[in-house]
Structure 1
């Protein structure tokens, strides 16, 4: 009887060892396959989202260019000599551009969005500040144009920040 038990163990032990080794090998293989599939899906997702992100960054650079005070004042002429009316027209133009591009914040980084909002606010505050001391719409235009010909507009800082973000993406 002992011989039969030892003989059974002699047959069962190699089968158990082989089964255990096969289990761990297949388990490791399956984990590796799952890991590779996850990486493939992640790469595919990035490949699909990159054009959308780049387009969002492009639109935000365009927004910054459109609210650049020098370019905006050349593009938007005063309807009358009233400083307050001209200021309202400029602010409405900035707000309209901003609202048109508001959804782009989904696709760009928080830091880029903060830089863009900060440049928008800085421009609007500067326009309001200059408007307080201006006697006419043309004087407002001249003062802002002279000031920003000497100093870098906040939009240039935001554009430079966006360009750095895009370089990181690529």
Structure 2
């Protein structure tokens, strides 16, 4: 009986070891194959999504350029001499540009979108701040005050443009 048990163990133990080794190799092979498939899918998606992401960055850069006070004031002329009406027109123009590019946020990082929002808000705040002065009583004086403000410091949209350039540089 002992001899039969010993013979059984002599056949069973090598079979179990071989089975365990085969299982481990098969499992490792399946994991590698899964990683290879995921990499191929990611690479293919990246090839298709990169142009779309770059286009989104381009559109947001264009938005930031268009809301830069220097360019905004050149593009949007006052309709009348009413200071409040011109202030509202400038802000409305910024909001329309923003709404037009709102969908681009899905292609940008959260930090980048936050900075774009901050640039927009800072530009609107700059316009409102200039309009609050009692010395300014006409649209042309409002334009002049905003342009004078821009002589002393960079446009709020410059921070957003700088961040976009940095982020696009990281994509490459």
Specify the alignment match of 1:19 in structure 2: 19
Specify the alignment match of 1:110 in structure 2: 110
* CA RMSD across the alignment: 1.8
Q: CA deviation at 1:120?
A: 1.0
Specify the alignment match of 1:139 in structure 2: 141
How big is each residue's C-alpha offset from its partner over 1:83-113, in whole Å with a ceiling of 9 and x where there is no partner? Answer: 1111111111011001101111111111111
How big is each residue's C-alpha offset from its partner over 1:41-64, in whole Å with a ceiling of 9 and x where there is no partner? Answer: 233333332222211111110000
Q: CA deviation at 1:159?
A: 0.3
Q: CA deviation at 1:36?
A: 2.0
Specify the alignment match of 1:126 in structure 2: 126
How many pairs were matched up? 170
**Mapping of residues 1-170 of structure 1, within 5 Å:** 6-133=6-133, 134-170=136-172
Q: CA deviation at 1:5?
A: 5.5
Counterparts of 2:94 and 2:41 in 1: how far apart (Å)? 40
Q: Which runs of no fewer than 5 residues in structure 1 stay unpaired?
A: none
Counterparts of 1:126 and 1:8 in 2: how far apart (Å)? 89
Q: Which runs of no fewer than 5 residues in structure 2 stay unpaired?
A: none
Counterparts of 1:28 and 1:115 in 2: how far apart (Å)? 44
Counterparts of 2:120 and 2:23 in 1: how far apart (Å)? 62
Q: TM-score, normalised by structure 2?
A: 0.88
Q: CA deviation at 1:11?
A: 4.2
Quickly say closer, same or farther: Cα 1:130–1:5, change in 2 above 3 A.
Answer: closer
Q: TM-score, normalised by structure 1?
A: 0.89
Q: CA deviation at 1:38?
A: 2.0
